[in-house]
Amino acid sequence: MQNASVKAEATAEPIVYVVDDDENMRDALLDLFMVTKRRASAFACGSEFFRIADTAAAGCVVVDLRMPGETGLDLQDRLISIGSKLPVIFLTAFADIPTSVRAMKAGATDFITKPFANQDLLQAVEHAIELDTRRRNTDAEFERVKSLAQTLTPREREVMAAVVSGLMNKQVAYELGISEMTVKLHRMSVMRKMQSRSLPDLVRKAELLQRD
């Protein structure tokens, strides 16, 4: 069965990457995702996946745990090492608790034992893609807010930190050794540069910046 093109495309539609050394399983999963109108592509091994797939794309990876050579856990470790945040769903016919724990601690979103019900896998994929979408949206918002914060002067950053901590203008003036009028002017500038119309929104953006 022919794979769909897997390099980055103009569309942001998520893609399900299937990695399994069993050709029959690969074909069955591709058929399943085709029927459910999910964009998908399959690979026989991890090396093929990393050579062809766009690991920065939106979506998730459905990978067999035990494959000759590079295992599913190896693939997960390699994704982590290159900074890819693609959610990983493991398929296995020989699950064991230590392996499951290791996979989940490393960020796997699900661990499904073969044979499995198609609906269980589809639900796991939907969940993984929802997580990936939320993470990407958060990352995009973080980058936007970070770029806004970079326009602040050092003094404006001090005023912003004091304001979001709950201090009133008079208290900020005392803490920074400046006049209350100067604090008000800096505060207005901070709100404008951070594109915040309310204090709660400014607080939210300040909290988001803490992840940097």
| Domain edges within the chain | 15-139, 151-209
Architecture of domain 151-209: Orthogonal Bundle (1.10)
Q: What is the pLDDT of residue 212?
A: 62
Q: What is the pLDDT of residue 115?
A: 87
Would you state the torsion angle of the CA atoms of residues 51, 52, 55, 60, taken in this order, to the nearest 10 degrees? Answer: -120
> CA 116 to CA 120: how far, in whole Å?
7
Q: What is the pLDDT along the chain (212 residues), one digit of tens a residue?
A: 434 434 443 347 899 999 999 999 999 999 999 999 999 999 999 999 999 999 999 999 999 988 888 899 999 999 999 999 999 999 988 766 677 777 777 778 888 888 899 999 999 999 999 999 999 999 999 999 999 999 999 999 999 999 999 999 999 999 999 999 999 999 999 999 999 999 999 999 999 998 76
Contact of 59 with 38, CB cutoff 8 Å? no
DSSP conformational letter for 26: H
Contact of 57 with 33, CB cutoff 8 Å? no
Q: What are residue 92's DSSP bridge partners?
A: 113
Q: What is the pLDDT of residue 158?
A: 96
pTM reported for the whole predicted model? 0.76
Give me the half-sphere count of Cα atoms (radius 13 Å) on the Cβ side of residue 17.
Answer: 30
Q: What is the pLDDT of residue 2?
A: 39
CATH class of 15-139: alpha beta
Query: What kind and span of H or E run contains 19?
Result: strand 15-19
Asked if the domains 15-139 and 151-209 are classified in one and the same CATH topology, the answer is: no
Q: What is the pLDDT of residue 95?
A: 65
